[in-house]
Structure formats: structure tokens, C-alpha cells
């Protein structure tokens, strides 16, 4: 079975929105994700839901490796395989004042979760931190959704210049203390948010990044340590209480694959250039 692509819209040089038709969309709960394999040769990758309707859902796809690059350049009418919905939903309840802190692509799951938190009666704010202008997404949409949206970039190319710790501390100094902070998009930044939240006595729930291969808990590649116990990000997560996560372990595991991923991305760029040249020739 394949899944029809309803929309593919490039929003920056390194990211696009992808809407897919799927009757299982009605089963999706806030904070869940899908495992997507766009063709027979591609590796399955986890993608967080951005928007969900009755019969379709939309992802923000950030080009960070070979598979996402090939999807941006080569994906056309259909996706070969999707497992959805996956993972445990976000614990949506009335917390009071909620601060969302996204890094790069993390804005997608946080907008999805933020809507549900807002519907539950919470006052929701959003901080988005991008590495640079190319990693700034969906600011207009976020501004329409939430009470206030603060934009920071690490190189100062858009919004205010600052990293995640700077942005979080800026909020704490200029706004009332939140009852809950939620982070997504980076384990390193999740660790930073966790440190500041613990220092200030704020509850923190974080999306922990892990290599998810089957989304059913069989391969054990996505193990994370929570309260010194092994949990599987694919089924127990992806959301965990930030102060209980062993962030050093999560960051170390994430870095283990980075060299191979970089090599694969560089080779994919070369192959796509050759393919483009052949078509133009």
C-alpha cells in the first residue's frame, strides 16, 4: 500500500512541508509521530506531526541527512510505507502557563502539542531558536496560534541573537515564571533547558531524540536512560520528564552515528548533482 502526497511545499532552502493522505490520521494524538519510508531503498525515518486533519497529516521535513535530502529532491506523488501513529502521546492537561522552546525542526511537534495545551485551557508561549535564518520555520503560523512568539537565531540573522539558554533566561527575566516548559529539536538544547528549569524549580517535559528504526520496540536502537532505567524512545517516548533523563547518554548515542550520516549526506549530494546534470544534458 502506498500513501498519496497531497502537498509538498518548500519553505526554506533546507526544509519543506509534506501533507500525506491517510485515513489513520483520525487516530493521531498530540505529540505522536510517524515512521516514514518514502521508497523501497530508503531508510525509515521518524517524523513528528505538525498538523492533523480527518484524513491527512502534515510534516515539517528538515533536511539533515541523506534520506531527507532525497525526499526534498526526488519525492513526487506517493510514499511507499508509513507506520502511524507511533509513540506515546504528550501528557496534555491543565498546567497553567506553558512555555514551548523549539530548536530548528522542533517547532513542528511543539506546535502540534501547543494547540492541544491551549485547548486544555493553558496560556501558551513559544520561543523558537534557529541555528540561522534557514532553520527558522513557521513563525507566522505560530504567531496566529499562541499568545506570544519570541524568535532567536544563534548567528543573529533573524530575530534576536542568542542561543537556547540565553532565550530561556531572557523569558524568565521579562515574563512571569511558567508552570511548565516543553522542549524539542535537540538533545543538547534539551539538556540546557533541563538545567535551567531545575535551577528555577520549573517542571520540564522534553522530546528526546533517538535513532528509531522500527517504532515497535524490537530493535532497541532508541534506548534512553530515564531515572537510570532503560526506556525505548519509540514506544515509551518520545516525551520524558527532563530532569529524569540522562542527557549525556542521549547526546553520546546521537553523536555515535553523526560521522556516518555526514558521509552519506555528502555522497547523496554528489549523486543528485550527477543525476541533475544527466537530465539537463
- Over the stretch 224-269, which tens digit does the pLDDT of each residue have? 999 999 999 999 999 999 999 999 999 998 776 666 666 666 666 6
In this structure, the number of other CB atoms found within 10 A of the CB of residue 40 comes to 7
Give the side-chain half-sphere CA count within 13 A for 34.
29
- pLDDT (0 to 100) of residue 188: 96
Sketch the domain layout of the chain as residue ranges: 3-86, 97-256
Set of cell numbers at residue 200: 528555577
- Bridge partner residues of 21 (DSSP): 56
- pLDDT (0 to 100) of residue 272: 66
Cβ-based burial of 29 (10 A; exposed 0-12, middle 13-18, buried ≥19):
middle
How does strand 56-62 pair with strand 15-21? Answer: antiparallel
- Over the stretch 17-54, which tens digit does the pLDDT of each residue have? 999 999 999 999 999 999 999 999 899 999 999 999 99
DSSP state letter for 221: T
pLDDT bracket for residue 279 (50, 70, 90) = low
- pLDDT (0 to 100) of residue 258: 67
- Over the stretch 104-162, which tens digit does the pLDDT of each residue have? 999 999 999 999 999 999 999 999 999 999 999 999 999 999 979 999 999 999 999 99
- Over the stretch 153-200, which tens digit does the pLDDT of each residue have? 999 999 999 999 999 999 999 998 999 999 999 999 999 999 999 999
- Topology classification of domain 97-256: Rossmann fold (3.40.50)
Domain covering 3-86 in this structure, CATH number:
2.40.30.10
Per-residue pLDDT, averaged over 61-74, amounts to 91
Amino acid at each position: 500500500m502506498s500513501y498519496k502526497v497531497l502537498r509538498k511545499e518548500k519553505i526554506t532552502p533546507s526544509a519543506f512541508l509534506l501533507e500525506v493522505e491517510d485515513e489513520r490520521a483520525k487516530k493521531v494524538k498530540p505529540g505522536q509521530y510517524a515512521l516514514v519510508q518514502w521508497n523501497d531503498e530508503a531508510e525509515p525515518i521518524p517524523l513528528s506531526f505538525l498538523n492533523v486533519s480527518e484524513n491527512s497529516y502534515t510534516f515539517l521535513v528538515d533536511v539533515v541527512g541523506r534520506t531527507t535530502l532525497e525526499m526534498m529532491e526526488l519525492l513526487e506523488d506517493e510514499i511507499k510505507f508509513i507506520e502511524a501513529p507511533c509513540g506515546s502521546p504528550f501528557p496534555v492537561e491543565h498546567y497553567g502557563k506553558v512555555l514551548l522552546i523549539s530548536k530548528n525542526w522542533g517547532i513542528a511537534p511543539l506546535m502540534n502539542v501547543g494547540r492541544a495545551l491551549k485547548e486544555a485551557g493553558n496560556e501558551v508561549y513559544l520561543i523558537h531558536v534557529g541555528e540561522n535564518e534557514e532553520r527558522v520555520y513557521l513563525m507566522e503560523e505560530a504567531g496566529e496560534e499562541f499568545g506570544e512568539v519570541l524568535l532567536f537565531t544563534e548567528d543573529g540573522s533573524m530575530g534576536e541573537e542568542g542561543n537556547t539558554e540565553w532565550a530561556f533566561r531572557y523569558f524568565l527575566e521579562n515574563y512571569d515564571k511558567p508552570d511548565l516548559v516543553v522542549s524539542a529539536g535537540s538533545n543538547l538544547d534539551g539538556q540546557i533547558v533541563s538545567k535551567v528549569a531545575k535551577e528555577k524549580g520549573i517542571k520540564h517535559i522534553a522530546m528526546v531524540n533517538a535513532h528509531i528504526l522500527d517504532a515497535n520496540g524490537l530493535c532497541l536502537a532508541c534506548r534512553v536512560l530515564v531515572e537510570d532505567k532503560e526506556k525505548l524512545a519509540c514506544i515509551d517516548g518520545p516525551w520524558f520528564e527532563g530532569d529524569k533523563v540522562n542527557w549525556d547518554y542521549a547526546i553520546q548515542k546521537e553523536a555515535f552515528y553523526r560521522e556516518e550520516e555526514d558521509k552519506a549526506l555528502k555522497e547523496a549530494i554528489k549523486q543528485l548533482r550527477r543525476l541533475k546534470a544527466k537530465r539537463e544534458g
